[in-house]
Amino acid sequence: MENNNRSIIYDDILQFWYSEYIDNLPESATSGNFPKSFFRKLVLFLKIIVRDTFRIFLPSSINGNNDVWLFVSSINNYNSISFLNDEINSSKYVKPRTGISADRNVPGEQLIYRWKIIYTLKGLYFFFIFLRYSNRKQYASKHWPYFFNTLGLFEESVRYLKKYNPKAIIFSNDHSVEQRALLLAAKECGIKTIYIQHASVTKYFPPLKFDLSLLEGQDAYDKYKSIGSIEGKVELVGMPKFDEYVEYRSDKDTIDRIGVCFNMTDRIGDVEKTTKFLVQEFPDIEFYLRPHPRESRNFYVNGVKLSDSKKTNAFQFLKNVDAIIAGNTSIHLEAAIFNVLPIYYSFSNKGNADSYGYTENGLTVHAKSKEEIIGIIEKYKSGRPEVYRKAKYYNSAIDTSNEGKIKILVADILKGYLK
């Protein structure tokens, strides 16, 4: 493979991760893969070498040929497409084992990337080639360990696809490096690729390049169009994961329970301070803390209940609250669809504010300070508004006969496509 073409491939794989989106995140969210000090970068690089070396001795767990792969690397990915395992013949879960973004608690046969160490060790020369041809040289020079963390994923994905020859691959993530590498490898090998959107889209995502993309709504399509040319067929189908919860959509007009939701981009101290402040202001309201499923930091607020996001999915959680307060997270959309009032508040006043466009498009109520949160709660405490119809731009199935039947619709589309 010519170095220029290889640079183009890795430029695509790294597009989301080598962008200002990552640079805008707080250090708590990036220190693992994007450390700032040279010493920590060197330590990370040595860890990559050791991990890739031990990868050689791991047993392969891929069995069978000509299956349909459901490629997942997180609980959210898994929850988004797990219904297809019973609907699509000869389908099975496949997951990456790379230590980059894979969740080891997710079920599935594993891609080991056995010979990745070869590309890691030979990567110094290609790194300088990449700097010459890539549009992301400023990020590559600053975050160089992540380049070596990623190197070899494409080549190893091609090797696996030639060996196991899956009939098709279904993705629910389009920007993580393992998914992106497998997508480009599948295109190289002539294998069908299908994308089922599992969360809201930002302007930092890479272009849509799947043979078939099933998007939730017009917002995702508009964003992908603005990112670049769209390849393959696109259909707007709605949100499959909401099917079993349509009947539980909230019709309350009061606010008695509030969820404070946060992810790795929020500073824990700021989340705790905000929550304590609100508990003091509203002693008659029940508050819940809801972390992202991958949250590993310690946190605690006296008198506040914890929602275990590793055991309870977002919609199960939303059944028990009347409003949420959160920053830059797609749980706002899930709340609005459930008719739970979404209040947008940036806990740390840092990061990629409103990158999903929720406030800009009128989906959320925006609070710029803790005092404004108080005003919003007081305003709607006894007269909570209907909000779910505002989410139609993001979920095309709202107020249609298909709502609550999206999984059936998606399964029928895929069965026809895979014939």
The burial of 213, by beta-carbon neighbours within 10 Å (0-12 exposed, 13-18 middle, 19 or more buried), is given as buried
**How do residues 44-87 score in pLDDT, each as one tens digit?**
999 999 999 999 998 877 888 889 999 998 888 888 899 999 99
Q: Which amino acid is at 361?
A: N
Looking at 239, 271, 287, the residue that finishes a domain is 239
- Are 311 and 338 in a shared domain? yes
Candidates 324, 218, 208, 210; CA nearest to 262 is 324
pLDDT of residue 298: 82
Catalogue the long-range contacts made by 119-123 (C-beta closer than 8 Å, 24 or more residues apart): 119/151, 119/152, 119/155, 119/156, 120/48, 120/49, 120/52, 120/148, 120/151, 120/152, 121/49, 123/147, 123/148, 123/151, 123/152
Q: What pLDDT was estimated at residue 229?
A: 94
User: Which of 67-71, 104-108, 118-122 bottoms out in mean pLDDT, i.e. has the lowest?
Assistant: 104-108
Structure confidence at residue 343 (pLDDT): 97
Token pair belonging to 62? 């891929």
Answer yes or no: is pLDDT of 101 > 70.
no
Q: Is the dihedral of CA 297, 206, 398, 362 positive or negative?
A: positive
Q: Is residue 176 included in any domain, yes or no?
A: yes
186 lies in the same domain as 261: no
Question: What is the number of domains present in the chain?
Answer: 2
What whole-number distance in Å separates Cα of residue 7 and Cα of residue 189? 18
The domain boundary, picked from 217, 239, 261, lies at 239
Q: Do 287 and 166 reside in the same domain of the chain?
A: no
Asked if residue 271 belongs to a domain, the reply is yes
93 domain-assigned: yes
pLDDT value of position 374: 97
- Residue 66 is predicted with a pLDDT of 81
pLDDT for the residue numbered 256: 96
At residue 165, the pLDDT reads 95
Q: Tell me if 416 is assigned to some domain.
A: no
User: What's the pLDDT at 13?
Assistant: 95
Q: Quick check: 29 pLDDT over 80?
A: no
Q: Do 174 and 81 share a domain, yes or no?
A: yes
In a domain, 407, yes or no: no
Question: Global pTM?
Answer: 0.90
pLDDT at 103 over 70: no
Question: pLDDT of 253-293, one tens digit each?
Answer: 999 999 999 988 888 889 999 999 999 999 999 999 998 88
pLDDT at 352 over 60: no
What integer is the mean pLDDT of 3-18?
A: 89
Residues 6+ apart with CB under 8 A from 81: 70, 72, 170, 172, 196, 198
Q: Any idea which of 1-5, 166-170, 195-199, 208-212 has the lowest mean pLDDT?
A: 1-5
Partners of residue 287 on adjacent β-strands: 258
Q: Based on the domain organization, do 213 and 105 belong to the same domain?
A: yes
Q: Is residue 63 part of a domain?
A: yes
Instruction: Read off the CATH number of the domain in which 266 is found.
Output: 3.40.50.2000
Last residue of a domain, one of 220, 239, 258: 239
d(CA 337, CA 243): 11
Kindly state whether residues 176 and 76 are assigned to the same domain: yes
Task: Show the CA angle centred on residue 72, arms to residues 32 and 222, nearest 5°.
Answer: 90
| 299's tokens | 């946190």
Same domain, 224 and 259: no
* Residues 304 and 252 reside in one and the same domain: yes
The per-residue pLDDT for 6 is 87
Residue 99 pLDDT exceeds 70: no
Q: Are residues 177 and 35 in the same domain?
A: yes
Among the ranges given (27-41, 135-149, 182-196, 356-370), the one the predictor scored with the smallest mean pLDDT: 27-41
Q: What is the CATH number of the domain that holds 159?
A: 3.40.50
Mean pLDDT computed over every residue of the chain? 91
| 152 pLDDT higher than 80 | yes
pLDDT tens digit string along 357-408? 999 999 999 999 999 999 999 999 999 999 999 999 999 999 999 999 999 9
pLDDT level of residue 196 (50, 70, 90 thresholds):
very high
Residue 414 lies in a domain: no
**Domain span including residue 110:** 3-239
pLDDT of 69 reads: 97
Residue 97 and residue 165 share a domain: yes
Q: Is 296 contained in some domain?
A: yes
Would you state the structure tokens that stand for residue 307, as one six-digit string? 């929602």
For residues 122 and 149, membership in a common domain is answered with: yes
Residues 266 and 182 in one domain: no
Confidence of residue 33 (pLDDT cuts 50, 70, 90): confident
Residue 320 has pLDDT above 90, yes or no: yes
